Amino acid sequence: MTSSGDDLLKQSLFTQVGPDCDKYGPRKITIIGAGKVGMACGISILLKCQCTDLVFVSVTKEKLRGEVLDLQHGSLFLENIKIHEGDDYSVTTGSSVVIITAGERQHPDDPRLRLAQRNLNIYEKIVPEIARHSPNAILIVVTNPVDVMTYVAWKLSKFPRHRVIGSGTNLDSSRFRHLIAERLKVSPTSVHGWIAGEHGDSSVPIWSSVNISGKRLSTIHTKIGQKGGPEGWDAIHQQVIDGARDVVKLKGYTNWAIGLSCSAILSSIIFHKQSIHPVSCFVKGQYGITEDVCLSLPCVLNSNGVDSIVNVDLTEKETKMLQRSACAIADVQRGLSWKHAHD
């Protein structure tokens, strides 16, 4: 039972998105796509024992069968988690969470609109099938460009906004905290800070709230992370943006970090943790954003999906950057060609 004072405090801290919830959800998890990212998500989920049943769906039948058979051979070590596969969406029926990794990867110098259009064409086939077989599921979208595809999945599924979540800047924020932790010689878990906005070049580092055990770095140096601030700190955000490209140059693709990021998001949902992650969701009306877009802000996640959006205090510059990020996403969305009505 909460007091009126607690209610007032919560109203100031959060923008409520989902209905009240105090229950654990069921434990059948589906992953759409059995490529490197889909399998990284799968192994992260299995090793953390986050489900009783794990289902993989892919159009690459032989590869999928091989991946699942390989995992099933290790079932002795996986707490008796049942692993299933198929190319028919009936196998996904009753999933509590569906993670969508299916889609084409971005080619070098490929415009985001071209990638978004190709993946929209894929989503128009798979999202209605997911919604038909698991109408009460929570969707976690990983396919890039993830903010656009989160919006696409929301429209195609016709699910309420709190049940469609993009992996967003959860991984960007991990990279951000890792880089700061390396400079300060502390654990990333002791660094508190967010990357908001688009998962991409227009992302926004929220330097004003970066803190170590409550001590904000901006109180030590007002230009932390900016030109004219402490040497090298202004390069950290660009290092975050370039992080995926650096990995791709070295090994050809990224998979492990995004798999771990997805399982962290999933953990908060299925175990009703009420923990906060910067994930992509529909944000029109937040911080003066007038576009119909999904982008990342710190969100409280529970077994309903997005419970609420944290009302973070942004500087004027950060607010304008966030609004520009929303416009960049909206520009891509306006260029999309939909085969089916989506309103």
Tell me how long the chain is.
343
> How many angstroms separate the CA atoms of 340 and 343, rounded?
10
Please give the structure tokens belonging to residue 61.
């039948």
In terms of DSSP bridges, do strands 97-100 and 211-212 run parallel, antiparallel, or are they unpaired? unpaired
The three state secondary structure string of 186-232 is: CCHHHEECCEEECCCCCCEECHHHCEECCEEHHHCCCCCCCCCCCCC
In terms of DSSP bridges, do strands 275-282 and 204-205 run parallel, antiparallel, or are they unpaired? unpaired
Catalytic option among 199, 221, 237, 277 = 199
Other C-beta atoms lying within 10 Å of the C-beta of residue 10: 12
The three state secondary structure string of 46-99 is: HHCCCCCEEEEECCCHHHHHHHHHHHHCCHHHCCCCEEEEECCHHHHCCCCEEE
> How many angstroms separate the CA atoms of 96 and 338, rounded?
28
At 94, which amino acid appears?
A: G
In terms of DSSP bridges, do strands 211-212 and 191-192 run parallel, antiparallel, or are they unpaired? antiparallel
> How many angstroms separate the CA atoms of 315 and 310, rounded?
15
199 labelled catalytic: yes
Residues designated as active site: 199
